[in-house]
A = this chain, B = another copy of it.
């Protein structure tokens, strides 16, 4: 089968691309051709087709139509902070270009009896308003508090409509913050969730903008990529809405620091100075319980234990191929 990853130059996209290149299968079906699309692409794994350009340009959409993927992972997006600062850019990329991509994929001619392309869409938990209720479940209303989440939610709705029509087979995953992003300045307020992990791994001091009791939802990029691949393979027919919040580990900052201390033999309690900023705590320090039963039932998974989260997030070689095989 033919598989396309948009946003393949990004943090999650690159992780997904490496996983697919190393293990070229979707469920039981082998991947014959794998394409990576982004505005700019770094060196790609061997055999991966690179498609560079702007999703908002018709020529690029034509190239994607020519590639004619059986499965598309759509990750390309303007991130939350940038979207909030420039809603016109967010509309162009996160909304219009995404809807164009859906239409492009839906319009590719298929053989008789051939199923429509599978689209795994990287949505966001930012479709939910703050403050979150004490328990997030399938009945929690989506009411996006930022332009990023509003445009992602609109795409979910249009993708679900394509699915209903039979023109695409969509699966939207609402991703939490994913760790551990590289230690380069990203402008993301949530960068501290990754930075604290990098700092403690190498025994550095860290000033934390949320307190020790602050709770967040955690997932490693590797596990996120595994979930995206699983989402492409799973039987999703039973869910009309076609949107799932991923299962997550819900950990307080103190629990995370304790785990990092144990895994890397450092004194995290000494290294971390808590300097809570109310605005940061309000958004990134109050994640409630999550009823992820529907996502688990369909085979999606969290990182299982805090120490596995930490090692999967920080050690690229943590998981041997054999472990990967058994991840489900």
Q: Which residues of A contact B (CB under 8 A)?
A: 87-88, 91, 95-96, 99, 103, 129, 139, 141, 143-147, 150-151, 153-154, 157-158, 160-161, 164-165, 240-241
B143 to A161, Cβ gap below 8 A?
Answer: no
Contacts of A153 on B, CB cut-off 8 Å?
A: 157
Of all chain B residues, the one with the shortest Cβ separation from A87 is B165
Identify A143's interface contact among B147, B154, B158, B241, CB under 8 A. B241
Chain B residues, Cβ within 8 Å of A145 = 164
A160: chain B residues at CB < 8 Å are: 143-144, 150
A-B contact pairs, 15 of them (CB 8 A): A91-B99, A91-B103, A96-B96, A139-B139, A139-B141, A143-B160, A143-B241, A144-B160, A144-B161, A150-B157, A150-B158, A150-B161, A151-B158, A153-B157, A154-B158
Quickly give the copy total for this chain.
Answer: 2
Q: Is the CB of B129 within 8 A of A103?
A: no
* Nearest opposing residue in chain B for A153, CB measure: B157
Least CB separation from A145: chain B residue: B164
- Chain A at the B interface: mostly helix, strand, loop or mixed? helix
Q: Is the CB of A141 within 8 A of B144?
A: no
- Tell me if A161 and B141 are in contact (CB < 8 A): no
Residue numbers in B under 8 Å from A91 (CB-CB)? 99, 103, 158
Q: Could you say which of A103, A154, A240 has the most chain B C-beta atoms within 10 Å of its C-beta?
A: A154
Say whether B141 contacts A141, CB under 8 Å: yes
Task: Point out the residues of chain B lying under 8 angstroms from A165, CB to CB.
Answer: 87, 147
Whole-angstrom distance between the alpha carbons of A237 and B151 in the complex? 22
Complex Cα spacing A274 to B150, Å: 45
Tell me, in angstroms, the Cα distance from A255 to B153 when the chains sit together.
40
A141–B308 CA distance with the chains assembled, in angstroms: 36
Counting from the closest, the 10 A-B pairs by CB-CB distance are A150-B161, A154-B154, A154-B157, A150-B157, A147-B161, A153-B157, A143-B241, A150-B158, A143-B240, A154-B158
Q: Chain B: which residue is nearest A154 at the CB level?
A: B154
* Closest-CB distance, A291 to chain B (whole angstroms): 15
From residue A217, how far is it (CB to closest CB) to chain B in Å?
A: 22
